[in-house]
Structure 1
Amino acid sequence: MTGPTLRVDTTSPVPPYEQIRAQAAALIVTGQLAEGERLPTVRQLAADLGLSPGTVARAYRELEAAELIRTRRGAGTRVAALPSGPKRVDPAQLTSLTRDFASAALALGATPEAILTAVREALEKP
């Protein structure tokens, strides 16, 4: 991974594995990480971020389950091709992401109304 770097805020209420998963997923779906680009090994990313390898491994497992990355022995972990058809939405994953976002926003002091306004604006101007 030569492009953007991942960051983890250990003071955030969002678990570190979810921060890694969400940031990596965003980089992949926006094209900032291209298909076939190699990601750091679990151990390397864990060392870079000061986390346990298990935390990074969990993020990678979730990215694989979402078919955003693929890991092959000897070839490492690489960005997968994005599906060209309509994307499946996992309701449980969407709920989890929403809860994490809402918790983080509330921890910043945002009101529910401000959070909803920010989400609406983000959806209107991606």
Structure 2
Amino acid sequence: MTVRPLDPSSDEPPFEQLRRQVAARAASGDLVPGTRLPTVRALAEQLGVAAGTVARAYRELEADGVVATEGRRGTFVASAAQAGSGDAERAAAEYVAALRRLGLGVGDALRLVEREWSR
């Protein structure tokens, strides 16, 4: 598995850039279930970041159900990763419906998401 370089000039922290990249690729099917991810150390070296950065991204991906860590065997794209995209669509639909009931528009919704995302 290859990972696209992270953008050091981005306001988004490196661990989040990596987390988002892997999650998006898993959801799109670019990383199929069972794909073995590089070790934390190897990927940190490849990207030129601290091992803790990669470890945090992997922990968050695991908490989201995108990857599964199998001890010494390594970290793999979880079989449920593709199903997660449907979960995200349902969550978005519920969010939009709730905000419409409250009388908020798209701009308000995006501002709320951006504010929560940065916490």
Q: Same fold (TM over 0.5)?
A: yes
Alignment correspondent of 1:27: 25
> What is the count of residue pairs matched by the alignment?
95
Alignment correspondent of 1:81: 79
Which one has the largest radius of gyration? Answer: 2
User: Do structure 1's residue 67 and structure 2's residue 65 form an aligned pair?
Assistant: yes
- For residues 62-115 of structure 1, the C-alpha deviation after alignment (integer angstroms, 9 at most, x for no partner) is 0000000001112100000126485264x8xxx8xx428x99xxxxxxxxxxxx
Specify every segment of 5 or more residues in structure 1 that has no aligned partner in the other structure, as ranges: 104-126
Amino acid at match of 1:72: E
Q: Using structure 2 for the length normalisation, give the TM-score.
A: 0.69
Partner Cα separation in structure 1 for residue 3 and residue 57 of structure 2: 15
Whichever structure has more helix as a proportion of its residues is 2
Alignment correspondent of 1:38: 36
Q: Which consecutive aligned stretches of 4+ in structure 1 deviate over 3 angstroms post-superposition?
A: 83-86
Q: Is the 8 A contact 1:6 1:24 kept in 2?
A: no
Specify every segment of 5 or more residues in structure 2 that has no aligned partner in the other structure, as ranges: 96-109
The two structures, once aligned, show a CA RMSD in angstroms of 2.8
Percent identity, please.
46
